[in-house]
Amino acid sequence: FFFPLKLQNKTKEKLQRQICQVVLDHFEKQYTKELGYAWARVRDVLTHPQCWQYAVLLNKFSWSLKLENTLCLKGYHPLFQETLPYLPASLKCYISGTPGRFPAQKHQPGKLKDYYLLNAASLLPVLALEVKDGEEVLDVCAAPGGKSVAILQCAYPGQFHCNEYDGLRSRWLKQTLESFIPAPLVNSITVSKLDGRQIGDLNPELYDKILVDAPCSNDRSWLFSSDIHQATLRLAQRKQLSSLQLQLLRSAVKALRPGGSLVYSTCTLSKAENSDVINLILNSCSNILPVDISDMGKAVSQEFTLLSGTRQHELLVLPEKGKAWGPMYVAKLKK
Residues recognised as catalytic: 267
CA-based radius of gyration for the chain: 20
Beta-ladder partners of 256? 207
Cα separation, 268 vs 280, in Å, equals 18
289 Cβ neighbours under 8 A, 6+ residues apart:
282, 333, 334, 335
Q: By the 8 A CB rule, do 38 and 307 touch? A: yes
Distance of CA 323 to the CA centre of its chain: 16
The annotated binding site for S-adenosyl-L-methionine is made up of: 141-147, 164, 195, 213
Q: By the 8 A CB rule, do 197 and 172 touch? A: no
Helix 167-180 crosses helix 146-154 at what angle (to 10 degrees)?
30
The annotated binding site is made up of: 141-147, 164, 195, 213
